[in-house]
Amino acid sequence: MPGKIQQFDLIVCGGGMVGASLVVALLSAAEQLGLRIALIEQNAIPQVANPEYQPSFDARSTALAAGSRTLLEAMGVWSALVEHLTPIQEIEVSAKGQFGQTRMSAQREQVPALGYVVENHWMGQVLMSHIQQVDSQQIEFFSPAKVRSISPAMPLSEVVIESEGDIQTLAAPLVVMADGGRSELRASMGIDYSEQDYHQHALVANVALDRPHNGVAYERFTEQGPIALLPIDSTDGQARMGLVWTLSEERIDDVMALNDSAFLTDLQKAFGFRAGALTRVGERFSYPLKLMLAQEQARTGLVVLGNAAHSLHPIAGQGFNLAIRGVAQLAELIIERKKAGLVLGDLAALQLFVEQRRRDQQRTIRFGDSSLKLFMSANPAIRVGRSLGLQLLDLIPPARTVLARAAMGLDTSAVRLNPDD
């Protein structure tokens, strides 16, 4: 039987990169405004006084747009993250077998980097370590704990959790669901979502090269599907790149079944030698590609955030960058309303937040979706047109700058996470 109800100002369901980022973004406000936050995570959260980098050839990585750096700096974690980040100094976009290509450069755009690549486990450690270092009485962890139900309501929403066989009930004016793309909570809440099946799979792995990558990222469009290579930290003296290879449903099983030597031969043939010779591949993973957008991203006392709200095609590497912008905007809203003594879970305020997020979501989706359709088209006229377009982008600096700024997310507005601002 549930015991006494514990009350908070905010309950965050999901302690992954999105949920943890929201708590980090609110740390200053939690101390200054007395904002009490509960963070619920299904897996055990290790006690990390200081993050420790543990190199692994197979570590999964995330691409951070340059605009996301600004947000992470405002959250106070950038100085720790940067210890093990790989800056993207150039991005080369090309189509195999066609004459057009364009190359964007951080030096030409007069920015420190076009983006950054961070290993997921390192980012997770930095975020959790930052929360734990604060040693705030305002933050309470419930881990490992599974959310059994959420009941959004005014003035308090209730969350029933199970931890080591014990049932507890938590309550807060606002609950945030940030439990990922396969959100069980979203399904249990009856939140519908639109879905577009690309009938493709992403094959993800790390590969080693016979030469340094020099901070160059590649987006290579082939008849088999787009291939992205992202520069990441070297391991044991081997230059590594993160691979995202988009393959058809018909091919994915065959390619996954290849031994390492045959796989490298197949990938080298598909990609070419622009990055050098591929010498090693790590563990391979694959997942189906679908565009998913939750139809309801807010109810009274409830917000859906991150991949639980939207899952994108990885072609433009914008999934987490879109999510972190949502984190920053929601944190701002919570701070503003807490300062003003307003109800955090007010439906009208949350609907306005969602309306603003949808504009960003639709813009990001259109950018990735239209790029995919343009470069995957077999229409001869479109193929000639896109080759000319890439060539013109390389010849017209202002047009290339517009594309670069869109990719870098530099149109992100400044965030105010300090209650004194």
List, in order, residues 6 or more apart from 191 with CB less than 8 Å away. Answer: 294, 295, 296, 304
Q: How far apart are CA 88 and CA 214, in angstroms?
A: 9
Residue 25's φ and ψ, nearest 5 degrees, are: -65, -25
Split at pLDDT 50, 70, 90, the class of 406 is low
Split at pLDDT 50, 70, 90, the class of 412 is low
Residue 92 clears pLDDT 80, i.e. is over it = yes
Q: State both tokens at 233.
A: 């930290």
- pLDDT, position 409: 52
Q: Which of 81-85, 217-221, 370-374, 395-399 has the highest mean pLDDT?
A: 81-85
Q: Note the helical H segments in 302-346.
A: 319-340
- pLDDT, position 370: 58
Round the CA-based radius of gyration of the chain to a whole number and report it.
22
Split at pLDDT 50, 70, 90, the class of 395 is very low
- pLDDT, position 66: 85
H-run or E-run covering 110: none
Q: Which of 69-78, 106-115, 316-325, 403-412 has the highest mean pLDDT?
A: 69-78
Residue 397 clears pLDDT 60, i.e. is over it = no
- pLDDT, position 365: 79
117-165 pLDDT, tens digit each = 999 999 999 999 999 987 778 999 999 999 999 999 999 999 999 998 8
What average pLDDT does range 16-33 have in this prediction?
A: 95
What average pLDDT does range 85-104 have in this prediction?
A: 82
- pLDDT, position 387: 46
- pLDDT, position 414: 57
pTM for this entry = 0.88
The pLDDT > 90 percentage for the chain reads 58
Q: How far apart are CA 13 and CA 254, in angstroms?
A: 38
Best CA proximity match to 121, nearest among 77, 84, 73:
84
- pLDDT, position 71: 92
- pLDDT, position 53: 84
- pLDDT, position 258: 98
Q: State both tokens at 174.
A: 């606002």
Residue 388 clears pLDDT 70, i.e. is over it = no
Q: Which stretch of 16-20, 63-67, 187-191, 312-316 has the lowest confidence by average pLDDT?
A: 312-316
- pLDDT, position 239: 94
What average pLDDT does range 229-234 have in this prediction?
A: 93
List, in order, residues 6 or more apart from 373 with CB less than 8 Å away. Answer: none
Average pLDDT, the chain: 86
- pLDDT, position 96: 75
How many C-beta neighbours within 10 Å does residue 238 have? 14
What average pLDDT does range 102-106 have in this prediction?
A: 84
Residue 374 clears pLDDT 80, i.e. is over it = no
What average pLDDT does range 206-228 have in this prediction?
A: 90
Residue 305 clears pLDDT 60, i.e. is over it = yes
Residue 396 clears pLDDT 90, i.e. is over it = no
236-273 pLDDT, tens digit each = 888 999 999 989 999 999 999 999 999 999 999 999 99
Q: Which stretch of 122-131, 169-178, 188-197, 399-408 has the lowest confidence by average pLDDT?
A: 399-408
Domains of the chain: 6-58+119-195+290-383 (3.50.50.60)
Length of the chain: 421
What average pLDDT does range 52-70 have in this prediction?
A: 87
The answer to whether 37 touches 30, Cβ cutoff 8 Å, is: yes
275-303 pLDDT, tens digit each = 999 999 999 999 888 888 899 999 999 99
330-352 pLDDT, tens digit each = 999 999 999 999 999 999 999 99
CA count, 13 A, side-chain hemisphere, 52: 5
Residue 353 clears pLDDT 80, i.e. is over it = yes
Split at pLDDT 50, 70, 90, the class of 392 is very low
What average pLDDT does range 375-380 have in this prediction?
A: 49
List, in order, residues 6 or more apart from 174 with CB less than 8 Å away. Answer: 9, 10, 11, 157, 301, 302, 303, 334, 344, 345
